[in-house]
Amino acid sequence: MAELSQILLLGMDHSELTALVDSVGEPAYRAKQLLEAVYRQRVESIDEISTLSLELRLALAEKGVSIGLPRIEQRFVSQDGTVRYLIGLADGQSVETVWMPEGDGGEAGDGSEAGDEAESFSLGTSGAKALSEREATAALKRCATQKQGPDQPQDQDQGQDQGQKQYQSQAQAQGLDLKQNRRRKQGQNQGRSTICISSQVGCAVDCQFCLTALLGVKRNLTAGEIVGQVCVVLKDQKVSPPEDRINLVFMGMGEPFLNYDNFVKAVRLLVEEVGIAERRMTVSTAGIVPRIHDLGAEKIRPKLAISLNASNDELRTRLMPLNKKWNLEMLMAAAKAYPLRTREWITFEYVLMGGVNDGPENAREVAELLRGMKCKVNLIALNPGPGIEFTTPEAERVAAFQTVLREAGVPAFVRRPRGRDIYAACGQLKRTVEIATAAAPSIELL
């Protein structure tokens, strides 16, 4: 357990570090050296900061200063490449953080650069768009309108099929070159990798379909503990933003808006010091209405995602007791008043549970709730787990729900489950150590 007198560098911003170095009689530029060492080099001890003199390192140690980087206690690797980290904190508590090497498509359609990449990937191209849209269109036209020779098919549809194959071959070849170049420059990261981080030890919101809710809430994480999750995963995966483009989602254990001040400070540190662009971050809330208004006023803020999960108040109160305090009318009013930036949409997340909230009438009610809003819906087929009474819906019902929304003019995407076999998927984080394959139908991203 950490000593009360201990001073942790991880979680400090520039002004706080400036005050620290001033307290030991050092010039202000030392603060920048500490920022670089802690957030970019991700050192584990003061002794590793070679830019500091031995005397200064000793002075900081005598003052009780340490880095405060959390430790990886266990690592679980899924068949799909997802990694679930059990990360230990100084007081003996632990949280979970998830690395998804190709994301889960959650950003698709949200208007951002990360969203463009996710949507492109869902259609079968490389995450960084193997060809630009202009190049792709030109290639298809060239292939489909080539003059037919004696050995070429006379049927127009066959000719277009041949053109499509030629285009795919070109795209694949160019995509391979892009991948090879990026691997040389950026390790294995292709711009789609996503880190899902926690904001609390446990969760107080008590959603009835979420494993994390079974833990209750132990405490809030500090800003340093939130940022520390990202730092240890980046170090373990050997990637480093901004050179490597990383997507970040505050969708792990806990409700970020119930730990608002630490969450906001962590966001600033992640943007300004770690180097992850705010347009590549998304925060998900169960619907803490006052904090939605607060987030809209922040100068540096992630994109907003709201967990909807029901189409009417009666059903939402059953699934999410939080709805008793902030009902759908209040939630929709806050969402409609939210100040969107250029190319920004609000995301609504909807966990589909078989026979509970996945019927066509539910989809029609959702479409009516969202009418006229600049938003999109992420559909998530329930990820099963012990202690959860609900079941995963059939793929046909997921597709039918999506169709109703799209026909009503609401962009709707199906999130691919990542790490379901190691309890790393959405709603499954419960610090599970004994891993058993969670059987459920495979849902593809549409």
Q: What is the CATH number of the domain that holds 55?
A: 1.10.150.530
Tens-binned pLDDT, residue by residue, of the chain (446 aa):
444 368 999 999 999 999 999 999 999 999 999 999 999 999 999 999 999 999 999 999 999 999 999 999 999 998 888 999 999 999 999 999 999 997 655 555 555 565 565 555 444 433 333 333 344 334 333 333 333 333 333 343 344 344 444 434 444 444 444 444 444 344 444 557 999 999 999 888 988 888 877 778 899 999 999 999 999 999 999 999 999 999 999 999 999 999 999 999 999 999 999 999 999 999 999 999 999 999 999 999 999 999 999 999 999 999 999 999 999 999 999 999 999 999 999 999 999 999 999 999 999 999 999 999 999 999 999 887 777 788 999 999 999 999 999 999 999 999 887 766 665 556 444 444 444 433 333 333 33
Q: How far apart are the C-alpha atoms of 262 and 227, rounded to whole Å?
A: 10
Q: How many CB atoms lie within 10 A of CB 323?
A: 22
Name which of 354, 347, 363, 356 is nearest 407 in CA terms.
363
- Does residue 34 share a domain with residue 115? no
- Does residue 402 share a domain with residue 342? yes
Assign 86 to helix, strand or coil: strand
The per-residue pLDDT for 102 is 78
User: Considering the domain boundaries, does residue 143 fall inside one?
Assistant: no
Output Rg (C-alpha) for the chain, integer angstroms: 24
Q: Which residues of 367-393 are buried (b: 16+ CB within 10 A; e: fewer)?
A: bebbeebebbbbbbbbbbbeebebebb
426 has catalytic annotation:
yes
As given in the structure block, the two tokens for residue 358 are: 């996945």
Report the greatest alpha carbon distance in the chain: 85
Number of compact structural domains in the chain: 2
Position of tokens 């997340």? 349
Chain CA centroid to CA 427, Å:
13
User: Considering the domain boundaries, does residue 170 fall inside one?
Assistant: no
Our CA dihedral for 324, 328, 254, 294, rounded to 10 degrees, sits at -110
User: Considering the domain boundaries, does residue 106 fall inside one?
Assistant: yes
Q: How far apart are the C-alpha atoms of 184 and 187, rounded to whole Å?
A: 6
Name which of 394, 412, 410, 417 is nearest 402 in CA terms.
412
The per-residue pLDDT for 108 is 56
- Does residue 388 share a domain with residue 284? yes
- Does residue 117 share a domain with residue 21? no
- Does residue 31 share a domain with residue 116? no
Name which of 337, 332, 284, 331 is nearest 306 in CA terms.
284
Query: Is cis: bond before 27, omega within 30 of 0?
Result: no
Q: Which of 96, 255, 349, 365 is catalytic?
A: 96
- Does residue 106 share a domain with residue 21? no
User: Considering the domain boundaries, does residue 26 fall inside one?
Assistant: yes
The per-residue pLDDT for 162 is 45
The CATH number of the domain holding residue 239 is 3.20.20.70
As given in the structure block, the two tokens for residue 69 are: 């980087």
Q: Give me the domain span that covers residue 27.
A: 7-66
User: Considering the domain boundaries, does residue 359 fall inside one?
Assistant: yes
- Does residue 79 share a domain with residue 43? no
- Does residue 60 share a domain with residue 192? no
Q: Which of the listed residues 48, 66, 84 is the one where a domain comes to its end?
A: 66
The per-residue pLDDT for 247 is 96
The per-residue pLDDT for 111 is 57
- Does residue 384 share a domain with residue 251? yes
- Does residue 212 share a domain with residue 301? yes
User: Considering the domain boundaries, does residue 237 fall inside one?
Assistant: yes
The per-residue pLDDT for 159 is 40
- Does residue 408 share a domain with residue 313? yes
Question: How far is residue 125 from each of residues 111, 168, 189, 363, 408, measured CA to CA in Å?
Answer: 18, 9, 16, 30, 27
Name which of 118, 37, 25, 178 is nearest 376 in CA terms.
118
Q: Which of 62, 102, 426, 444 is catalytic?
A: 426
User: Considering the domain boundaries, does residue 140 fall inside one?
Assistant: no
- Does residue 92 share a domain with residue 16? no
User: Considering the domain boundaries, does residue 429 fall inside one?
Assistant: no
